[in-house]
Amino acid sequence: MTTVTRELLERFDVPGPRYTSYPTADRFTDAFGAGDYSVALEQRRGGPAAQPLSLYVHVPFCASLCYYCACNKIITKRHEKSGPYLRLLEREVDLHVRHLGQGAAVSQLHLGGGTPTFLNDGELTVLMEMLRRNFALAASGEYSIEIDPRTVDENRLRTLARLGFNRLSLGVQDFDPAVQKAVHRVQPAKQVFTLAEAARGIGFDSLNVDLIYGLPRQTPQSFARTLEQVSELRPDRIALYAYAHLPERFMAQRRIHAIELPGAGDKVSMLARALAAFDAAGYVYVGMDHFALPDDALAIAKRQGRLHRNFQGYSTQPDCDLIGLGVSSIGKVGGIYSQNAKTLEEYESLLGQERLPIVRGLTLSQDDLLRRAVIMAIMCQGEVRFESIEAAYGIDFRARFTAELERLQAMQQDGLVELGDDFIRVTQMGWFFVRGVAMVFDRYLQADRGRARFSKII
């Protein structure tokens, strides 16, 4: 394993985008609306044969509040809210079908939240049947769902498999009881291990586990114990996120006592231990916060240069349009990004007017498209070939990006990138700081030093 020095980790412990898109969602504007989105859908329908769609469905409901959470959610124990929400989703799908046509091909589906498993088995069945009536879900597609282990047992897992889900993501965050109590998410490790064993027995293609470092009451020593347990659990994929404490933006985080948060030095130590532990356990570092076993599709896609990135993170699917369904969902169609209303009330009101619930978005400029291609090449392939960019966008790469190439020279001295006459290549060490490399090409970020709205790179 490449040794990542503490000095480098500390130097790159700065805020920066995750680049699930470029430009990033904070650049969306309310000047973009449903009319702009409708035009993009119609152009897709009338254009040449396109790649199959990716669908994202946001289920905002949670039965209890996790204090670290920065997601768009509605905390309620009233499960009768699910039925009306499913009817709103169906109305939104109907409006899409008017523009896309019936039976558009889909190769990827992800249910996120909130807590998708807030829906009971019958409601999940209704949702999947509705989607299958309106879209053509490929037999070989990736169909994933986020799971709160406290809401699922083996019987529910069997229902999910029957409905066509083949990938599961378990929210673990940390196995330490004191940390769990501090963030109001108590779930015994045994519960997670039992679910993982059941999932493997049922035959799901992939199991992901989410972890967070930097939570209250975490220490390098306590987190090391969690890392040992995760290595024993041996999920196919691991997502390791740094906690971003932004209580001024996320009300739930105001319940976290700042004095209980680990310091920057301890966070760096936790990350360093995680990198070493997962390497020792045989995981491939895919990029940013993602690890996968060598035979997992994500690790294979990275080896073969087929990795892609969308609003859900890294993906093995070819770069495709994404339809976001549900409150606050984000979509990408051609050269536009869109976002639905963030409150359930506004979402319902717009659908009641027979309008797509788009409230903001962005039409990408030619410069945006060019920089998106460069940034996504860095984030996914770890390499930019000047010739391919020049051919696609009619530019002289070195002339267009003179300032950026100069800034990369310092990273080359740190051993993070290699700069050739006609390429930029992220080194093995550089993959751990790939967000920092990509940030060099972010025109908006370079012009705006107000980066505090982003999470830390480390």
CATH number of the CATH domain containing 17 = 1.10.10.920
- Is residue 434 domain-resident? yes
**Do the beta carbons of residue 15 and residue 457 sit within 8 Å?**
yes
Examine the fold and report which residue of 323, 342, 375 is the final residue of a domain before the chain moves on.
323
- Is residue 316 domain-resident? yes
- Is residue 346 domain-resident? no
Residues 13, 131, single domain; the answer is: no
Residues 401, 292, single domain; the answer is: no
Average the pLDDT over each of 26-35, 113-122, 260-269 and give the range with the smallest value. 260-269
- State the total domains in the chain: 2
Residues 193, 319, single domain; the answer is: yes
Which stretches of 193-257 are assigned E, i.e. beta strand?
A: 206-213, 237-242
Residues 57, 106, single domain; the answer is: yes
Strands 284-287 and 290-292: antiparallel
Q: Sign of the CA dihedral 455, 285, 428, 318?
A: negative
pLDDT at 157: 97
Q: Is the model's pLDDT at 185 over the cut of 60? A: yes
Q: What confidence tier does 46 reach under pLDDT thresholds 50, 70, 90? A: confident
Examine the fold and report which residue of 323, 358, 384 is the final residue of a domain before the chain moves on.
323
Rounded (10°) angle between helices 344-352 and 82-100: 50
Residues 219, 128, single domain; the answer is: yes
Residues 214, 182, single domain; the answer is: yes
- Is residue 211 domain-resident? yes
pLDDT at 452: 52
- Is residue 377 domain-resident? yes
- Is residue 340 domain-resident? no
The strand order across the sheet containing 322-325 reads: 284-287, 290-292, 237-242, 206-213, 167-173, 135-147, 104-113, 53-59, 322-325, 330-333, 336-340, 358-363
Domain residues for 441? 1-23+366-458
Residues 316, 426, single domain; the answer is: no
Residues 315, 372, single domain; the answer is: no
pLDDT at 17: 85
Residues 265, 136, single domain; the answer is: yes
- Is residue 339 domain-resident? no
- Is residue 329 domain-resident? no
The Cα–Cα gap between 13 and 98 comes to 47
Residues 297, 433, single domain; the answer is: no
Residues 6+ apart with CB under 8 A from 344: 60, 74, 85, 327
Examine the fold and report which residue of 323, 341, 374 is the final residue of a domain before the chain moves on.
323
Residues 297, 398, single domain; the answer is: no
The Cα–Cα gap between 303 and 294 comes to 9
Mean pLDDT confidence for 367-389: 94
Q: Which amino acid is at 81?
A: K
Residues 154, 224, single domain; the answer is: yes
Mean pLDDT, all residues of the chain: 92
pTM: 0.91
**266: helix, coil or strand?**
helix
Q: What pLDDT, in 10s, does the model give residues 312-339? A: 778 887 778 999 999 999 999 989 999 9
- What does the DSSP 8-state code read for residue 181? H
Here the CATH number for the domain that contains residue 288 is 3.80.30.20
